[in-house]
A and B are shown apart, each in its own frame.
Chain A
């Protein structure tokens, strides 16, 4: 029961503070929250958008949650997502694969690139004990500028009127959409992955060693579990999920590579994972909550022209409140 109190109280407190901010710029917060709610839940398009935003958040939530189980903070999901999107786009645009092999190949390369990008901070952490929070974060900027460089330069499309975009992907490289909305196959892929990783985390030796290293590194040494291996594997898994999220975003939503394919999905993975306390099944629920915040954020933007950055405020407040709650409980 007490496990529920901290997250619920954190959400409530954040709603109050964001409400005060909304009121400060002359918007009735209760009215705004009501509009957010009805627009997201009462139409086919609202619900579809909810799933569209939830999809990458499930994957970036897992990208943070799995390393977190081993006590590692993967702040780099954003960059890993960009690298996955970049790799998938290269395959989509230049590989000329037969259509049945296109999507699987994109998926695989995105996963590998996400992993490779996570491997850098993982190895630096395991070998040199370099703070993974800083290294993953700095690599985000490098990945984002890399994608910028590619779409402004080598990968810029021929039919884009000088916009920094690639050309549109061929049809075989796009995920099928349903119901005449943007709702796409990626949603189901994300859910299947979350269920599969839940099994791995709870039922396998690897999942066990993750937990031991996270809970008590010294005990891991006594139990003969290699901490270095666990550090590297958990980060690689995290990077893989974020890379997949990148592929799903370009192939399900953007249909091309361009700058700003992610509006902070990688960073949102942090509160998603924390709110779920690292449990892959709960990650789906908290991803849905943050998906709602994203949809709600854009509703506020179109209705009241409130900048979407209000979503960041909300995210950071929730994390701060959860941390405060955890610290207070530890002291009791």
Chain B
């Protein structure tokens, strides 16, 4: 039943399905590393998906769509940053409301875009390498944003662990008091990280509508934002490890579709549950193995108030 063609197309689409997850996961890793927990990924992604689609349709330029999708994500992240950093409000609830807000606004503004055909990102074959059997089709026949995601993971790893700025982000998330006393502006670092995170999550959303699904439908993120939150934990807040998790969950997504198409007797509706159940199990593992040992930033989700003693 499983031949090489099936395998190649399965793996290639796993990467395409995993790329939006990778962008969003990388974005959330940077946000959480600085100490801000943004649960609003689902709402930010759908806003990126819609904005990207609408801009591409209006301008004929999918790249402009991707950019605007990212900026829209940044705008929602700004709301989150204001609430969690400036107002020091409950970050979980603020994030959750961003989900409702994003789904609501895009459902409202997006009704006239359903069924429209925009301009999409096409695959770019890398010469010679794309001719290698199996691997060529899987790895070297993707669109530019899919390649960029991999490069980005490497860049973010470098920034986080090899530069002074990365050190400041990690310090803001681990020991904000210490960072503050070393002259790091904790609020500023957190603002920048949250906004940058929102940018990446928005781009992930735009990828979904402009490169993966190539259409706009209401609620098309279908829970991907929540899965990325688990992927952040799964990756231990390490950009390089996010790659594997994102493609794995991308593959799971594709597999449920393919199994459906090949008529294997597993219910499509039961398959749709799997990512959520897996996410809960991942979360459970992470808490059982203790947050610190698992690598969560120590001050994650805790507003920093200068001069407050814990």
Given A138-B279, A142-B276, A316-B101, the answer on whether A73 and B93 have CB atoms closer than 8 Å is yes
Q: Does B96 contact A (CB under 8 A)?
A: yes
Give complex CA distance A315, B101 in Å.
8
The answer to whether A130 touches B284, judged by C-beta atoms less than 8 angstroms apart, is yes
Of A35-43, A91-99, A102-110, A306-314, which stretch is located at the interface? Answer: A306-314
For residue A303, CB closer than 8 A to chain B, the reply is no
Question: Are B87 and A138 closer than 8 Å at their CB atoms?
Answer: no
When the two chains form their complex, are residues B269 and A152 in contact, meaning their CB atoms are under 8 A apart?
Answer: yes
Are A328 and B267 within 8 A (Cβ)? no
- A250 lies within 8 A of chain B by Cβ: no
Determine chain A's interface SS by DSSP, over half rule: helix
Given contacts A130-B287, A138-B279, A146-B273, contact A320 B109 (CB under 8 A): no
Q: Are A327 and B88 in contact (CB under 8 A)?
A: yes
B72 within 8 A of A: no
- Is B284 touching A124 in the complex (CB atoms < 8 A)? yes
Q: Contacts A124-B284, A142-B273, A323-B89 given; indicate if A134 touches B229 (C-beta within 8 A).
A: yes
Q: Which residues of B contact A139 (CB under 8 A)?
A: 276, 280
Q: List chain A residues, Cβ under 8 A from B284.
A: 124, 128, 130
* Interface Cβ pair total, 8 Å cutoff: 125
Is B223 a contact partner of A315 (Cβ separation < 8 A)? no
Q: Does B111 belong to the interface (CB within 8 Å)?
A: yes
Interfacial chain B residues near A124, Cβ < 8 Å: 284
Assess A313 versus B104: contact at CB under 8 Å? Given A25-B109, A135-B283, A138-B226. yes
Report Cα–Cα, A73/B92, bound state, in Å: 9
Does B288 interact with chain A (Cβ within 8 Å)? yes
Given known A-B contacts A25-B109, A306-B108, A320 and B287 have beta carbons under 8 A apart = no
> In chain B, what residue has the closest Cβ to A324?
B87
Q: How far is the CA of A118 from the CA of B283 in the complex (A)?
A: 17
Does B93 lie within 8 Å of A310, measured CB to CB? no
B125 within 8 A of A: no
**Closest Cβ–Cβ distance, residue B257 to chain A (whole Å):** 15
CA distance A327 to B77 in the complex (A): 19
A327 — which chain B residues lie within 8 A by C-beta? 83, 87-89
Size category of the B interface is 35 or more
Say if the beta carbon of B61 comes within 8 Å of chain A.
no
Q: CB within 8 A of A138: which of B99, B270, B280?
A: B280
With A135-B280, A323-B89 as known contacts, state yes or no: A145 contacts B287, CB within 8 Å: no
Closest residue to A268 on the B side, CB-wise?
B100
User: CA separation between A314 and B104, bound complex, in Å?
Assistant: 8
Within 8 A of A (CB), among B231-285: 267, 269-270, 272-273, 276-277, 279-280, 283-284
B87 lies within 8 A of A145 (CB): no
- Tell me if A255 counts as interface (CB < 8 A to partner B): no
Q: How near does chain B come to A215, taking the closest CB pair, in angstroms? A: 15
Q: Are B276 and A310 in contact (CB under 8 A)?
A: no
Known contacts A25-B109, A141-B276; is A134 also within 8 Å of B89 by CB? no
List 18 additional A-B contacts (Cβ < 8 Å) besides A133-B96, A323-B87: A75-B96, A124-B284, A128-B284, A130-B283, A133-B39, A133-B93, A139-B276, A141-B226, A146-B269, A146-B273, A270-B93, A307-B111, A309-B104, A310-B104, A312-B104, A313-B101, A315-B104, A327-B89
Lowest 10 A-B CB distances belong to which pairs?
Answer: A309-B107, A312-B104, A149-B269, A313-B104, A316-B100, A327-B87, A316-B101, A316-B97, A141-B276, A148-B269
Interface residues, chain B, with chain A CB atoms under 8 Å away = 39, 79, 83, 87-90, 92-94, 96-101, 103-109, 111, 218, 223, 226, 229, 267, 269-270, 272-273, 276-277, 279-280, 283-284, 287-288
A residues apposed to B, CB below 8 Å? 21, 24-25, 73, 75, 124, 128-131, 133-135, 137-139, 141-142, 145-146, 148-149, 152-153, 267, 270, 305-307, 309-317, 319-320, 323-324, 326-328
